[in-house]
Amino acid sequence: MPRTAREVVFVDGVRTPFGKSGKGLYAETRADDLVVRVIRELMRRNPGLPPERVDEVAIAATTQIGDQGLTLGRTAALLAGLPRSVPGYSIDRMCAGALTAVTTSGAGISFGAYDVVIAGGVEHMGRHPMGEGVDPNPRIISEKLVDPSALVMGNTAENLHDRYPSITKERADAYAVRSQEKVAKAYADGKIQDDLVEMLVRSAEKGFGLATEDEPPRPGTTMETLAALKTPFRAHGNVTPGNAAGLNDGATGALMMAEDVAEELGLDAKMRMVDFSFAGVEPEVMGVGPVPATEKLFARRGISIDDIGLIEINEAFAVQVLAFLEHFGVADDDARVNPWGGAIALGHPLASSGVRLMMQLARQFAERPDVRYGITTMCVGLGMGGTILWENTNYEGGK
């Protein structure tokens, strides 16, 4: 009984506004309620999709504890009102959790096991700081399997500055300023708002409210303000709160399906998944992970960075983005890279961020029928990188 691989498409994506951890938007909101809101909005926006046609719900979280635990994909599906026949599961690949939820369930679609899936991620870093409750095996350090700095992401970014001495603090700060400026312009131009679903929030002090936009952006950021920030991970270092993503809360979700099923249901396929790749690197320089992941994918497909018209790369740290660009010979201010800004401004709620990259790429594809291929790529804690190659379904060029 031979199987034929099917085309896998991204139909829609939704996210909550991202909040600042601690006393931010979602200080008194449960993580699973963020996911539930996203699932319900995906279904509301796609009335042509019968709920019983959803075959799987894959939700990622880095710290799978408390209200981010208990097989979150299944519990969120039940809480969102999907039929009890719809299964779900949780997944963890740290920052690339949602990205992995998409590749794993997307592979299931291609194989023929699924027709429709919801894949996404959540992170409530205010309630659950990264690493809460974990018990790393002491042999990881005692047997020198990794450098101790690998367990602190800010230290890995400083290590990356060491490996790429041409990436100075000033260069990282300049990249961060551009990210803030691009996000401010994207908001002013109405580019980001359509991806957001408003979220009811509660505060014992302020009462109920509505989260309608991202909390982390700092418009008006300048080189002068960034230069004055301290370097918490190393004395006289390069990494600051200004050229790195913050600690954030938020959830994302994507509606993925077989292309023929999208046509059957009358739903718009915004982009087509072509291929994906993951790779491992030394954990102490985890930020370089997107380089071998992307190289691996390019080699398999026989393409180069010149074939890529749009690049959505997660901005965990400016140095990590710049290392990727430097490796591939791409200018720091290349217009293909994060046209609407990135995580340095918008925030990086760990396991949720991969789908945010996809949502922004899909909307950019819709505006750019001249672009055929784009990538979403990100570094991953403990020394990994992940890249997905996407094809624009709106492409109007030749073969």
Strand boundaries in 224-270, DSSP class E:
248-258
How would residue 145 be classed by pLDDT, with cut points 50, 70 and 90?
confident
pLDDT digits (tens, 9 = 90+) for 65-115: 999 999 999 999 999 999 999 999 999 999 999 999 999 999 999 999 999
pLDDT digits (tens, 9 = 90+) for 165-208: 999 999 999 999 999 999 999 999 999 999 999 999 988 888 89
> What percent of the chain has pLDDT above 70?
98
Q: What per-residue confidence (pLDDT) applies to 32?
A: 97
pLDDT digits (tens, 9 = 90+) for 271-284: 999 999 999 999 99
Query: Has residue 399 got a pLDDT over 70?
Result: no
How would residue 306 be classed by pLDDT, with cut points 50, 70 and 90?
very high
266 and 373 Cβ atoms separated by less than 8 Å: no
Query: Has residue 28 got a pLDDT over 60?
Result: yes
For the annotated catalytic residues, the residue numbers are 95, 348, 379
- Residues listed for the chain: 399
pLDDT, mean of residues 326-345: 98
59 and 100 Cβ atoms separated by less than 8 Å: no
Residue type, 31: A
Q: What per-residue confidence (pLDDT) applies to 113?
A: 95
Residue type, 177: V
Query: Has residue 211 got a pLDDT over 80?
Result: yes
Lowest mean pLDDT among 45-59, 104-118, 198-212, 248-262: 198-212
Q: Whole-structure pTM over 0.85, yes or no? A: yes
Q: What per-residue confidence (pLDDT) applies to 142?
A: 86
Q: What per-residue confidence (pLDDT) applies to 398?
A: 62
Q: What per-residue confidence (pLDDT) applies to 193?
A: 97
Q: What per-residue confidence (pLDDT) applies to 4?
A: 66
Q: What per-residue confidence (pLDDT) applies to 144?
A: 83
From the list 23, 136, 34, the residue with the least C-alpha distance to 76 is 34
Domains present along the chain, CATH in parentheses: 8-128+246-265 (3.40.47.10), 145-192+218-243+274-390 (3.40.47.10)
pLDDT, mean of residues 303-322: 98
Q: What per-residue confidence (pLDDT) applies to 2?
A: 64
How would residue 130 be classed by pLDDT, with cut points 50, 70 and 90?
confident
Query: Has residue 260 got a pLDDT over 90?
Result: yes
List alpha helices for the chain, DSSP H: 31-45, 72-79, 97-111, 139-142, 153-163, 169-188, 223-227, 259-265, 290-301, 318-327, 343-346, 353-367
How would residue 136 be classed by pLDDT, with cut points 50, 70 and 90?
confident
Neighbours of 398 (CB within 10 A): 5
Report the first-to-last Cα separation within the chain, whole angstroms: 32
List beta partners, residue 375. Answer: 311, 389
pLDDT, mean of residues 228-233: 96
Residue 194 per-residue DSSP state: G
pLDDT, mean of residues 241-247: 97
